[in-house]
Amino acid sequence: LLFSGPQNLSWVREFYCNMDSLDDIGPSFKTLVRSKPITVNPALLRELLGIGQVFPIFYLFLVRPTCDFNEVAHALCGFPRPWPSGSLIKQNELLPQFRLLNLIVCANVIVTTHSSEINQDQGFVFQCLAQHRSIDLATLIIQKLVVAYARNNLGLPYGCLINRLLA
């Protein structure tokens, strides 16, 4: 998600302010920046990031709802631990390899302002990565962009990616 060069924060703000046509069926939306209409979809992000679509995809599709999060917590922490819906696991409870992975993922993939706790979605991503299961990164990024748009108390993630898209 690296973009070398100056970052244009007004582009990022405009990108988020003009998001429209959020599609509940498929992961895509439209926005307008400097009078330039843009349709953001997984194919566009895959092309921009230079990544291909992989199959099977374990994250963001049907496998996630059937996941036993107590097993995920056991894998991440190294001991049996319940993980009820809505609760968080603290960074210091994770095995060392997952502490490092948490820092990397929080800074680059699931862009968040803190990494001291992880939710079930993050935990599932970690488990997929540890087990070499594919995730749909482009769709994940679109979901995070839409969440940031919908919740105005969050920052504006993926500024470098947005600048790269518009440059």
C-alpha triplet 44, 47, 50: angle, nearest 5°: 145
Q: Which amino acid is at 97?
A: Q
The tens place of each residue's pLDDT in the chain, 167 residues long, gives: 555 677 889 999 999 999 987 765 668 899 999 999 999 999 999 999 888 887 766 665 545 567 889 999 999 999 999 998 889 999 999 999 999 999 988 887 787 777 899 988 889 888 888 888 888 888 888 888 888 888 776 678 888 889 989 88
User: What pLDDT shows up at residue 89?
Assistant: 95
Helices H / strands E in the chain, number of each? 7, 4
User: What pLDDT shows up at residue 62?
Assistant: 47
Q: Is the separation of the CB atoms in 20 and 137 below 8 Å?
A: no
Entry pTM = 0.80
